Structure 1
Amino acid sequence: MQKAKNQMQYNKNSKQNISKKQNQKERLQHNNRYKWKEIQKIKLNNNQKQFKIKKILSKLRQIIGIHGIKIYNRQVKLNPIDQVISNCSYYYKINKTNIHQIKNIQILIALLINLIKQ
């Protein structure tokens, strides 16, 4: 009896965790979408642009490589470009599925193209 009760509790908790992660993921997706509008307005000089490009490339290396998945730090106030870059790693940390990995790579490549076009 106790074992069945424990199993039910465990199932309930895991469902709650899944929905919590789902909400978190959706919120980050929404934030990224919102940030794109801000990113379009940002004008960077060459040094800043090169620095951001290096940052994006290293993030791509992290996601594609096995190591170095960093935890997104909410306390740090970042500018929109950096926020999107760091959201990618956090988003990946929650859900280590290939689909999300591919989405992150797409986001970062779009950012790269956006920076290079400027």
Structure 2
Amino acid sequence: MYQLTLTIPEETILALNVKPEQLQSELLLAAAMKLYELGKLSSGAAANLAGIPKVLFLSQLAKYDISTFKLTEAELIEDLTHTSIQQETLLSIPLSPTLEPLTDLDPWTQSLIGVIQLKQKNLNND
């Protein structure tokens, strides 16, 4: 782990309205949020830098109006297209009580079909 020493003017501490012992966590959180916003750190890495759990970090992003939605329009279209193809694949596969024919499918599709089958069994049992 690296250690960094900063000299902070007293006016800055007064302007931030924080106690000197809170300054470190405030600056680390601010740096982590900005580095996340710039795309330099993932949310997990930024939370680690801030020294807080990822869930708390994400809530802090919302508090400061920093979006957690990072996809570009092209990436979003690609994801939607990929999802559409996966849905078409699912619709073309007949539901079967056995999972043996599903072994040729990718793990994501296998898990989704398993969830659909479980839901269908629960509906039949009710």
Tell me if both proteins adopt one fold, taking TM over 0.5 as the criterion: no
Higher helix share: 1
Q: Which fold has the larger relative contact order, with Cα–Cα distance below 8 Å and residues 6 or more apart in sequence?
A: 1
The structure whose Rg is larger is 2
Q: TM-score, normalised by structure 1?
A: 0.30
Q: TM-score, normalised by structure 2?
A: 0.29
